[in-house]
């Protein structure tokens, strides 16, 4: 594989899969806040 192939694969995979992993981690860390919010606001939804 030449240099540009490796570079492109690293860039594409980093952005697409890296982006997904970043937002999954954020979703997991924010989940606690969400659950807390949910508890507080459940009555509002009902």
Binding site for other proteins (CB under 8 A): 1-2, 4-6, 8-9, 12-13, 15-17, 19-20, 23-24, 26-27, 30-31, 33-34, 37-38, 41, 44-45
Minimum distance from CB of 12 to other proteins (Å)?
5
Q: How far is the CB of 33 from other proteins (least distance, A)?
A: 8
Work out how close the CB of 14 gets to other proteins at its nearest, in angstroms, rounded to a whole number: 10
d(CA 7, CA 5): 5
Helix (H, G, I), strand (E, B) or coil at 42: helix
Q: First and final CA of the chain: distance in angstroms?
A: 59
């Amino acid at each position: 594989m030449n240099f540009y192939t490796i570079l492109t694969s690293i860039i594409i995979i980093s952005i697409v899969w890296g982006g997904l992993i970043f937002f999954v981690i954020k979703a997991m860390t924010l989940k606690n806040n969400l659950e807390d919010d949910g508890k507080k606001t459940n009555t509002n939804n009902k």
